[in-house]
Amino acid sequence: MPTEVLDVAAEELTAQVGGMSVYPASIVNAGGNSFFLGRRGTDDLLGVATRAEVGALGAFAGTDTSVELGGQPTRVRLCSLTPANAQALRDRFPWLRPVPLGLRTSAGLGDRLGLATPGHVQAAREFGSIAPIFAQQSVRENARTGRTPQQVMDDAMWGVFQMGWQGPWGSDADHLKTPEAMDPAIAAGYTQYTIDPGDHVDNAAHTAPPADVAAKVQALPWDALEDTAQDMERRYLGRSIELEGAALAFDRETLARAAAKYGRALAHTVQMYRCLVERIGETPFDLEVSVDETETPTSAEEHYFIANELRRLGVKWVSLAPRYIGRFEKGVDYIGDLRVFEVELAKHAAIARALGPYKLSIHSGSDKFSIYPIIARLSQGLVHVKTAGTSYLEALRAVAQMEPALFRDILVFARDHYDVDQATYYVSAQLTKVPAPDVLSDADLPDLLDQFDARQVLHVTYGSVLDRFGGRLMATLHTHAEVYGALLRVHFERHLAPFAHAA
């Protein structure tokens, strides 16, 4: 006999499944079953409804109840959002798995709390030409939030399911510094791996005396680089490199400084890449190389040197993040001369097209509204914009609107912890410019999320804040999920709009 088609609506499920409010976009009717996500109290639950034998629900662990749907008895299993149930749902619906995004214009939408994906999806739907990465977290962020790569992946997947997103989406294991850090991300099924060799960049080589630079070059791990200093010089010296009407030329000092500064970072990147290829097997993936967290900007010559050497060593990547000129501080707009930035970015974009093509990746890319049009135009769609903390700041904006007393407590705490927490971030906020909460009315509190110094203080103290206020903060956001989602939609539409036409 053919399988009976079970087709139910959110209103009927909400009415019949006691105490549960079903997210309408989540309902999927497939194989005689209906799958849906709903809220009961403060918890989200997966529901599976069937008129078949109970064995049809065997992949999902939960509690069964009998209801009447469409005028007929129906069994409904309500399941907690466990890793096992997440995997069972992914096995049933392939669109719940992330995929490599390749050279598509893309945006990383980091989510430190695991609640932002519904808002991210709302914004992404407005700009279908931009491929979203809904699961993105760095090793540092996971350490501070106490989350695992699997939790980040599952939280994003449940948000995708809730919103009924069936388009391609990616997942980024961000700022990987060691081979061991890859393993949890590989096990969780991540599709992009961002290698960060910043600890191996020799920043002193940028200004060291020539004799010291020469010594640094001689001391490079030439075996790991599969090269010699003499062969390197033969590849670069005495030739002009044409790039879309412009030209690069290496003199001996420029080459030596580039090699001394980035040589060990290149060796580490190659080691990481080869370890990744060995561990991930035949599974396709995207690779990003990030040298953005360095003390000095990456010049056009250095960018060319990095990319050309990676290509020589067989590394295959889809995006690369140089350290751009100017200041890319957390949570605020670009700080620097826009004309100089435009001139330098044009060179980086030309190199990415000549040696790839690959995408330019913009790290600390959130809230850089003044340079988005420049990046969109010059990259010609070969761009990845990476955001993270700005979603957390919108969460705090929601708290400021809906629970001002909690926001005041968070602000006092963040001010007290800023001096310690800012040490590992590139920020310049001054505490003296952050108003104390007792001088502000409740109506004034959300406006702090638009003030430079307050944004940065709140941004970098998230780990300490979550340790202290995590339960209260999450409960508030669960209660006011629609407010948070609406704030995220507006905020990220502003981020994505400049890139829509270039994609």
Which residue has 């993040």 as its token pair? 321
- For the question of residue 288 being annotated catalytic, the response is yes
Contact 247, 253 (CB under 8 A): no
Which SS3 state, helix, strand or coil, does residue 347 take?
A: helix
pLDDT of residue 2: 34
Of the candidates 90, 89, 95, 93, the one whose C-alpha atom is nearest the C-alpha of residue 166 is 95
Buried b / exposed e along 77-107 (16+ C-beta atoms within 10 A): bbbebeeebbbbbbebeebbebbbbebbbbb
pLDDT of residue 55: 61
pLDDT of residue 419: 95
3-state secondary structure 113-159: CCCCHHHHHHHHHCCCCCEEEEEEEEHHHHHHHCCCHHHHHHHHHHH
11 Cβ neighbours under 8 A, 6+ residues apart: none
pLDDT of residue 452: 97
Of the candidates 391, 396, 388, the one whose C-alpha atom is nearest the C-alpha of residue 136 is 388
Using CA atoms, how far residue 169 sits from 44, 134, 135, 236, 403, in Å, is 22, 7, 9, 39, 33
Q: Which of 141, 155, 196, 288 is catalytic?
A: 288
Percent of the chain at pLDDT above 70?
97
Structure letter (DSSP) for residue 237? B
385: enclosing H helix or E strand = strand 383-387
Cα torsion 362, 365, 368, 372: sign? positive
pLDDT of residue 256: 98
pLDDT of residue 1: 29
pLDDT of residue 6: 60
pLDDT beneath 50, residues of the chain: 1-5
Which SS3 state, helix, strand or coil, does residue 296 take?
A: coil
pLDDT of residue 136: 98
Which SS3 state, helix, strand or coil, does residue 27 take?
A: coil
- How far apart are alpha carbons 141 and 146 in whole angstroms? 8
pLDDT of residue 304: 98
Contact 202, 254 (CB under 8 A): no
For 410-459, the DSSP string reads: HHHHHHHHHHHHGGGS-----GGGS--GGGS-GGGGGGGGGSHHHHHHHH
Of the candidates 252, 264, 263, the one whose C-alpha atom is nearest the C-alpha of residue 210 is 252
- For the question of residue 111 being annotated catalytic, the response is no
Burial zone of 253 (CB within 10 Å; 0-12 exposed, 13-18 middle, 19+ buried)? exposed
Contact 112, 145 (CB under 8 A): yes
Strand 21-22, strand 63-69: pairing: unpaired
Look up the pTM and report it: 0.95
Which SS3 state, helix, strand or coil, does residue 204 take?
A: helix
Of the candidates 10, 34, 14, 11, the one whose C-alpha atom is nearest the C-alpha of residue 24 is 10
Of the candidates 36, 37, 39, the one whose C-alpha atom is nearest the C-alpha of residue 19 is 39
- How far apart are alpha carbons 421 and 436 in whole angstroms? 19
Cis peptide before 322 (omega within 30 of 0): no
Of the candidates 243, 222, 242, the one whose C-alpha atom is nearest the C-alpha of residue 231 is 222
Q: Which of 174, 196, 202, 421 is catalytic?
A: 174
- How far apart are alpha carbons 460 and 207 in whole angstroms? 30
